Amino acid sequence: MLQRFTGHYQTIVPHLFARVNIAYRRERIDTPDGDFLDLDWLERGDSRQLVILSHGLEGDSHRAYIASAAHYFARHGWHALAWNCRSCSGEMNRTPKLYSHGQSEDLETVVDHAVATGRYDRIVLIGYSMGGNLTLKYLGTAGRQVPEAVTHGVAFSAPCFIQHSVDSLERPDNWIYKQKFFRSLSAKIAAKEAQFPGLVDLSALDRVAVWRDFDRAFSAVIGGYDDLDAYYDYLSSGNYVGETAVPVLIVNALNDPIVPEACTPVDLARGHPLIRVEQPRGGGHVGFSLRGKDWNGMDERALAFVENG
């Protein structure tokens, strides 16, 4: 019971009080399927090193944990690129497809764009929650074809086996997170149906009792899947990350209320030379605050890993 309480506290409080002002340079790029992605750059001085930051579900580049990482890496001589998933930059995207935990093709588009600038000798990828899952899945699916400039991947609070995270949302004490996501995503589904009439059956929203109902009626349908278990397998980075060709760090707190321990690929990491798993007792979900600091423990750990291993 105490662990659950501290997990909620360490998840919610940092997000209530964190305020990070940041001035990005925005760039819009096209995707291969005719959509767009908005990229936000923080470029201080000259640098040949870039960190690419991937946000969580219904997040964006201005979330405090993203802005904090961008500032922290900038102070240490890096450029930062915080990209926004489709529909997350303040403007609805063009195509019927939204975004998902498994849509790593968009991260691939971002990475390829950064590589094509020719400005960077070294690129590292850091993702948070859903963005962590995307980071791991991208590195796993890319395998040895990953661009040479990409040297490391880091994931915090990553639901590597998504079905366990989905089921954890049904715990009574997780009601606040479930409702927050449900309200926000329901509004996007309604906007997407207005944009593409007939895409989904909006009346199914009234029949959603558990999160699996939502995914079965909307997420899987938009993702092109009829079978929910097959859809969850597609989303889950734990099914792919074993093929990574670069060092990977996964940090999932044991008191994370949204990502239970079953989401973490502990067994895979135990015998893998490139995957390191850390499970601190505290930190919550994308929390990891540090008393008296204007950065967080995720910033410190990520930089230490990519610079020192």
User: Do the strands 122-128 and 49-54 form a parallel or antiparallel pair, or are they unpaired?
Assistant: parallel
Residue 38 is among the residues annotated as catalytic for this protein: no
Give the model's pLDDT for residue 6: 84
d(CA 258, CA 42): 30
Q: Please answer whether residues 39 and 29 qualify as being in contact, where contact means their C-beta atoms are separated by less than 8 angstroms.
A: yes
Strand, coil or helix: what is 157?
coil
Q: One digit per residue, pLDDT tens: the chain, 309 residues?
A: 556 668 988 988 877 766 778 999 999 999 999 999 999 999 989 999 999 999 999 999 999 999 999 999 999 999 999 999 999 999 999 999 999 999 999 999 999 999 999 999 999 999 999 999 999 999 999 999 999 999 999 999 999 999 999 999 999 999 999 999 999 999 999 999 999 999 999 999 999 999 999 999 999 999 999 999 999 999 999 999 999 999 999 999 999 999 999 999 999 999 999 999 999 999 999 999 888 787 899 999 999 999 987
- How far CA 21 is from CA of 24, 61, 63, 302, 303, in Å, comes to 10, 11, 10, 21, 21
Give the model's pLDDT for residue 219: 95
Q: Which of 47, 89, 129, 168 is catalytic?
A: 129
Our count of domains for the chain comes to 1
- How far CA 295 is from CA of 150, 157, 231, 303, in Å, comes to 24, 17, 36, 12
d(CA 300, CA 125): 15
Segment 212-240, tens digit of pLDDT: 999 999 999 999 999 999 999 999 999 99
Give the model's pLDDT for residue 260: 97
Enclosing domain of residue 89: 2-308
* Selection from 186, 160, 177, 125 nearest residue 252 by Cα: 160
Output the six-digit token pair for 271. Answer: 């015998």
Give the model's pLDDT for residue 1: 54
Q: Which of 8, 55, 79, 285 is catalytic?
A: 285
Rounded to two decimals, the pTM is 0.96
Residue 165 is among the residues annotated as catalytic for this protein: no
State the CATH number of the domain containing residue 40: 3.40.50.1820
Residue 76 is among the residues annotated as catalytic for this protein: no
Q: Which of 40, 106, 215, 256 is catalytic?
A: 256
